[in-house]
Structure 1
Amino acid sequence: MVSKKKKQKKSQLPFRLNILFFIVFLLFSALVLQLGVVQILNGETFQAEIDRTTNDYTKISVPRGKMYDRDGDLIVGNDAEYSITYTPEKGIQAENRLKVAEKLAEYISMDSEKYLDGITKQNKKDYWYVNNTEEARDLLSQKEEEEMDNGEQYHEIIDRISEDKVDDYSKQQLEVIAIKKEMDKAMTLTPQVIKNEGVTSEEFARVSARLDELPGINATTDWNREYPYDGTFRDFAGSITSESQGIPKDKEDYYLSRGYNRNDRVGNSGLEEQYEGVLRGRKEKIKYTTDKNGTIVGSDVVVEGQRGKDLVLTVDMELQKKIDEVIRDEMKTAIQKYPVENRYLDRAMAVAMNPQTGEILAASGQRYDHEEHEFSNIGTSTIYNANAPGSSVKGATMLAGYQSGAISPGQSFYDRPIKIKGTDEKSSWKNLGYVNDYQALEQSSNVYMFFIAMRMAGEYNYQYNEPVNFDYAAFDEMRNYFGQFGMGVPTGVDFPYESTGYQGSNPSAGNLLDLAIGQYDTYTTMQMAQYVSTIANDGYRVRPHFMKEIRNPVPHEEGLGPIYKSNNTEVMNRVQMSDSQIDRVQAGFHRVFQSPNGTASRHFADKPYDAAGKTGTAEYDVYENGELKASTENLALVGYAPYDNPEVAFAVMVPKVGENNDINHKIGKGILDAYFENKDE
């Protein structure tokens, strides 16, 4: 029998457990309730607090890719230099920036013209405002403060600060202002260059040793473009913006949508601009961890930076230098020999390219300053500047005559002066008598081309000094044929901009005749190079290009990495003319350079490289203030060599020549001499 005492103990145990369970239940209920309060009532507040401590990311620019010539010689590189930068934390105040600027001014100098001359009255007033906040606030009444927001108050105070308060700053204070000015440009967590020109090793060391005293300041290395060949090919290479310029204002949306920062340097001309996407590289991406006060508490590189890819260009820099020199020497000789007659001769341009691939081997433009007696490189004028090329277009005119049915191969005309009623008499450089198509090219007959133009316009019964019945659709027809060779249309060259030349707008009979001999519309030297290349290449027009290859960068920064992309030959079109017709024009061009009657034979006939081509002369009247000052000539020359298997084609344009009328021949000969000498070395 169980005792009464044992029964009482058994009955008390469940009761105590129930109490314990009840207490635990109450505790859990309280916890759940608290969690509900946190989540439901205070969730947004706490989430905001969490958001304030989330990670932030920024991207750091890397050095640009380099440019090399076809032989691997460096054209554009990067010159490393010391740099002092500032990366502001979140919520940094103007007073804090000023303190950092004052401290930094103890370790670096900002006394160069670049920095001190850039200080404005606004910068000085802003410096005074930060240093004299109480006094500055007194410049506004209480009513004005109530009626204005913070931005309006600031601008009104700045306007009311008298100039006498900011006119007597010491040099040391001005240097602080210069530093603060650069710091104020910085965006949150984005590095801003404070000084990168003339940073001495001592300054770099002093700042590096005191980074803990200078929040946001860093001592690092920056880069600038270097040009081992100085001015040679410099304008084609192009330029990049400075840190102060950043991305162009008119292209902000374009660049910002592609991950650029506003203070990033970008290509703004030439090949730097054309291949910006290749040369820019991959930015280094850094993750910053900040606390609720915006203070950076940690950072980590999440994407390694990689400098831009390298460009291998088609250009041969040794050939480029020689052609620059040839042009300068020939211009100097012409001007020194005939200073009065050639007082308007101020430039000459030339392009050399591979007619089979479109690779541009050299492109030179030289300008002469008659007052300073100095030359400067204007290579891009071969793409931007258009001139009337004269008879050098006659190969295209002849082929237009064949294709249109205006003439047949081998047809002859009597070369004598032409006169359409109501127009001036026109003729060749002399009366040549009967000439066929070969001879018309060989001796540069204008009259032969006039007959082609008249027949293309439907006039087959020309009589001296009689009116003609022209179908002026012949202008469009002839220009269409010319365009197949690259004249008057874009060449497609890989450059940010190219001129297509000027197209005359007065469709008269005389102007049609002038169009046929290259004295009406104008063309660039690059267009003329593409035109003669098309003839040399059996009628295939290829796109001229500067980029040969894109190479991946190599880690050690020297030499060329593996090929990323190659620029293959691109045929833009095949002209409509038959092979046999093109053969006849090629033979005519060969006669120009090789036969005794050829207009360029005395310069080329004895050369071993067996060249072919066409000379050109166009009248150019110089006017000043509406008054005729001089009658000059544009001299042109196009050609290629060797005749049987062309390796190089060239075009030369020398505007406003008054005397020494073989300068175009001498430059052309110098180009081919330099090419074949360079090839044999």
Structure 2
Amino acid sequence: MVKKSKKENREKLPFRLNLLFFIMFIMFSLLILQLGVVQILKGEAFQKEIDRTIRDTTKVPVPRGKIYDSDHKLVVGNTPLYAITYTPAKGLQAEERLKVAKKLASLISMKTNKISERDKKEYFYLKNKKKVVKRLSEKEKEKLDDTEEYNLALERITDKEISNFSDQEKKIIAIKKELDKAYSLTPHIIKNEDVSPEEYARVSENLNDLPGINAIADWDREYPFKETFQNLVGNITSEKQGIPKDKQEQFMTRGYSRNDRVGISGLEEYYEDVLRGRKEVIQYTTTKDGTTVGSEIVVEGEAGKDLVLTINMEFQKKVDNILRDELKKTIQKHPYQHRYLTDAIAVVMNPKTGELLAVSGQTYDREKNKFIDTGYKALHDAHLPGSAIKGATVLAGYESGVIVPGQVFNDQTITIKGSPPKGSYSNLGPVNDYLALRRSSNVYMFYIALKMGGENRYPFPNGSGARFDLAAWDKMRSYFQQFGLGAKTRIDYPYESIGVIGKKPFNPGLLMDYAIGQFDNYTTLQLVQYVSTIANDGYRVRPHLVKEIRNPSMTDDRLGSVYRSQGTEVLNRVDMDLSYIKRVQEGFRQVYNEPRGTAVNYFGTAKYRKYKAAGKTGTAENAYYVDGEMKANTENLSLVGYAPYDDPEMAFAIIVPHTGIATGKHPINFTIGQGILDAYFETFKQEKKQQ
């Protein structure tokens, strides 16, 4: 093998280097050529791309979910409306908004009655900026910041200069005022009242000349049943009102915008998260001068989910009318005697499922001679219930061991030292637990309270002091709370009262008052949960107003698929033997159906026996106060019940506060109860026949 010389190797090395340099020269030449092409031929197009801002997104509201009753009749819907909106780009100046306002003013009408003097001055300033600024001296400018300088310039504009604007100029000012309210990349309603189809079309055709303006189909809430149940449905804010200031932080952390409409009361508030829907998200690409050069829908909008109520609106209307009619009859019959009577409240519920079938409150406005729908009072207003709660007292007596089933006490007036005499409406003589409920014996309940407090003497020696253990208060209240008396019912609603719970004084007489419903105050909703728990063999279920949440429907003739069902929720089983509850159920049956039962005259007739109703009556003394001053002694009339007593499917509670006091009883609580039973079986039995 012949070896190459060192000289030959040295000669080949420069050749390779030269070849490498040549290749590199060609590559750099091509790169320079390409840069030249980019700079010279396509420079303008690429510069525009460079000048674009980052992509921003905006969220477009969608129609709110609808609300239907249990028969799928529309209770709350959406009325479509045309609307003109404005979504400003970032950093847009007042001059640019004025240009938009001028163009828009030629296309739409606009009310001008709300423009202020400052609005006019701001418009004049933009039109005559150099002229107005010259009115400020250089010394003044040196001392002021930009805002102070602007405000001083506005002050120098005279009243004469802003007094002769034409109608068209006033319209421009009114439109610009709305444009100024808009937040960057957030749609703001400029006009959504009385937008005509012609205006909608004109704006739609000129969107290219109106940066940030859009013509959309907006919506507003409609109520086919008008005022019926509306105050419990609640309200939403308007587009211009937006989110209340005290709640803005709470909502905006959840993806809301300041001008979003939100539920602020009732079911609209409680079910806000499902009713709101999913906004359509649009991604915009804009140039630095605010011109939109591209848009893309990145999230499809979806209307809010629909609610199906447990409320039957036909039955609800009947209950409302019953309360109004009976209030009117009672007040007209004895106007002076019932001068403090204004309200009647009733709640009807399925005791097994907790479905609320009707929630009604009616208030008579004497000055205007009209009725106001105040159904919220069933959840908010607490009243002394009287003897209606004696079922809980008897059960507390059983479970605490101070009485046994069949226990007999002699119903005679009891006098405790230092307290006025306490008795029933008359001395009833010996009564057992059944008779105590049937005839509404106060004395029987007094002995339960005394014994729970540690007083074991029987008969009680009138005139002496009673032994009393303060722990009896907590003990009896704990039993009552198992039925929902003095506790939250847990209804699906933003607010409910737990009633008015009095202080527990070291006084056996007041515990005796508590035992007959003359101390703590309860809502009508609490009373219906209490009687439902007895009807339901001791199971306390959560009352609810919404039966189902449905996905938005694609058509108007049918509801969407079920998103979530609100099933029966058992809150607790009362800590009492079932045999005890059965005895109270029998006592309640006797109240409505057996001789000398306190409700037998109204529910023991042939007409009402067919409903097989059971329950308890109540009357509570209740002084009427105005500004802390007692004006009169009045009564609260109450009634709780359920039917049929052998297989309950409905339970009801009625409170009529501040009736007049008379030797004869006012039957308004009974006549309302009769009307509710008639309406229930007429409405729901007819439905079952049709099915």
Q: Is 1:116 aligned with 2:113?
A: yes
* Equivalent residue, structure 1, for 2:81: 81
Pair 246,463 (structure 1): closer, same or farther in 2 beyond 3 Å: same
Asked whether 1:133 is paired with 2:132, we answer: no
Q: CA separation in 1, counterparts of 2:205 and 2:323?
A: 55
Corresponding letter in the other structure for 2:343: R
Check 1:81–1:397 CA distance in 2 against 1; reply closer, same or farther (3 A cut). Answer: same
Secondary structure of 1:92's partner?
A: coil
Aligned amino acid, residue 611 of structure 1: A
In 1, Cα distance between the equivalents of 2:47 and 2:448? Answer: 84
Measure the CA separation in 1 of the matches of 2:235 and 2:436: 46
Task: Tell me, yes or no, if structure 1 residue 91 matches structure 2 residue 109.
Answer: no
1:326, 1:138 → 2: CA distance? 74
Is contact 1:52-1:294 (8 Å) kept?
no
Matched-pair contact (CA < 8 Å) for 2:283–2:297 = yes
In the alignment, structure 1 residue 679 sits paired with structure 2 residue 675: no
- Whole-angstrom distance in 1 between the partners of 2:137 and 2:649: 82
Match of residue 663 from structure 1:
668
Could you tell me which residue of structure 2 aligns to residue 236 of structure 1?
232
Residue of structure 2 in register with 1:39 after alignment: none
Give 1:4's aligned residue: none
Higher alpha-carbon deviation: 231-240 or 191-200: 191-200
Amino acid at match of 1:663: I
Correspondence for 1:25: 25
Query: Does the 8 Å CA contact 2:211/2:291 hold for their aligned counterparts?
Result: no
CA shift, 1:602, in A, is 1.3
Deviation at 1:144, TM superposition (A): 4.0
The offset of 1:29, in angstroms, is 9.4
CA distance in 1, matches of 2:156, 2:478: 67
| 1:217 to 1:387, Cα distance in 2 relative to 1, 3 A | same
Q: For the residues of structure 1 that align with 2:166 and 2:486, how far apart are their CA atoms?
A: 61
Match of 1:466 in 2: 464
The equivalent of 2:632 in structure 1 is 630
In structure 2, distance between residues paired with 1:543 and 1:165:
67
For 1:187, the equivalent position in structure 2 comes to: 183
- The separation in 2 between residues aligned to 1:583 and 1:303, in whole angstroms, is 58
145 and 679 in structure 1: CA distance in 2 versus 1, 3 angstrom threshold: same
- RMSD over aligned CA atoms reads 2.6
Q: CA separation of 1:155/1:229 partners in 2, compared to 1, >3 Å: closer, same or farther?
A: same
Aligned to 1:336: 332
Structure 1 residues 519-559: Cα deviation after superposition (integer angstroms, max 9, x where no partner): 11101010001000000000000000011111111223442
Q: Check conservation: 1:440, 1:448, Cα contact below 8 A.
A: yes
| Cα distance change on mapping 1:16 and 1:298 into 2, 3 Å | same
- Tell me if the contact between 2:473 and 2:504 (Cα under 8 Å) persists in the aligned partners: no
Question: How far apart are 1:409 and its partner, in Å?
Answer: 1.0
Amino acid at match of 1:354: N
Deviation at 1:216, TM superposition (A): 2.0
> How many Å separate the matches in 2 of 1:355 and 1:329?
27
**Contact 1:49 1:292 survives alignment (8 Å):** no
Secondary structure in 2 matching 1:116: coil
The answer to whether the 8 A contact 1:541-1:575 is kept is: yes
In 2, are the aligned partners of 1:110 and 1:116 still within 8 Å (CA)? no
Distance 1:144 1:657, change over 3 A: same
In structure 1, the residue matched to 2:41 is none
Report the secondary structure of 2:622's partner residue.
Answer: strand
Which letter does structure 2 place at the counterpart of 1:83?
Answer: A
Output the CA distance in 2 between the equivalents of 1:541 and 1:50: 68
What is the distance in 1 between the residues matched to 2:498 and 2:47? 61
C-alpha distance 611-97 of structure 1, shift in aligned 2 (>3 A): same
Check 1:363–1:167 CA distance in 2 against 1; reply closer, same or farther (3 A cut).
Answer: farther
Aligned to 1:41: none
Counterpart of 1:7? none
Q: Residue deviations 1:19-57, cap 9 Å, x none?
A: 99459539739969x99xxxxxxxxxx999958432111
Residue of structure 2 aligned with 1:303, choices 275, 281, 299: 299
The change in CA–CA distance for 1:164 and 1:558 in structure 2 (over 3 A counts) is: farther
The one-letter amino acid of 1:96's match is: E
Distance 2:643 2:174 in 1: 60
In the aligned structure 2, how far is the partner of 1:162 from the partner of 1:432? 89
Instruction: Measure how far apart 1:174 and its partner are.
Output: 3.2
Mapped to 2, the partners of 1:47 and 1:493 lie a distance apart of 62
CA–CA distance in structure 2, aligned partners of residues 603 and 295 of structure 1: 77
TM-score of the superposed pair, with normalisation by structure 2: 0.90
Distance 2:258 2:174 in 1: 20
Partner residue, 1:349 = 345
> Within the alignment, does 1:201 sit opposite 2:200 as a pair?
no
- Matching residue's letter, 2:654: V
What is the identity, as a one-letter code, of the residue corresponding to 2:481? Answer: G
- Letter in structure 2 aligned against 1:53: T
Aligned position for 2:53: 53
Does residue 448 of structure 1 match 2:450?
Answer: no
Q: 1:423 Cα shift?
A: 1.2
Q: Out of 652, 655, 658, which is 1:653 matched to?
A: 655
Give 1:505 shift.
1.6
Q: 1:25 to 1:381 in 2, by over 3 A?
A: same
8 Å contact from structure 2 (residues 351, 532) kept in 1: yes
Q: Quote the residue 1:552 is aligned against.
A: 551
Alignment partner of 1:457 out of 453, 459, 478 = 453
Percent of pairs with identical residues: 58
Cα offset for 1:353? 0.5
Q: Is the 8 A contact 1:355 1:647 kept in 2?
A: yes
Q: CA deviation digits over 1:431-455, x for unaligned, max 9? A: 1111111001001111111111111
Selected match of 1:611 from 610, 613, 618: 613
Alignment of 1:92-491 (within 5 A): 92-111=92-111, 116-117=113-114, 119-158=115-154, 161=157, 165-166=161-162, 169-461=165-457, 462-491=460-489
Partner of 1:594: 593
Unaligned runs of 5+ in 2: 1-10, 36-45, 687-691
Distance between the aligned counterparts of 2:510 and 2:612, measured in 1? 35
User: What's the offset of the Cα at 1:152?
Assistant: 4.0
CA distance in 1 between counterparts of 2:165 and 2:503 reads 63
Aligned to 1:42: none
Say if 1:281 and 1:307, in contact at 8 Å, map to a contact too.
yes
TM-score (norm 1): 0.91
Contact 1:116 1:174 in 2 (8 A): no
1: CA distance, partners of 2:137 / 2:456: 92
Structure 1: unaligned runs, 5 residues or longer: 1-10, 36-45
- The answer to whether structure 1 residue 583 and structure 2 residue 590 are counterparts is no
How far apart, CA to CA, are the structure 2 residues paired with 1:168 and 1:634?
65
Matched with 2:498 is 500
What's the CA shift for 1:157? 3.8
For residues 557 and 156 of structure 1, do their structure 2 counterparts lie closer, same or farther at Cα, with a shift above 3 Å needed?
farther
Deviates more, 1:657-666 or 1:267-276: 657-666
SS of the equivalent of 1:54 reads coil
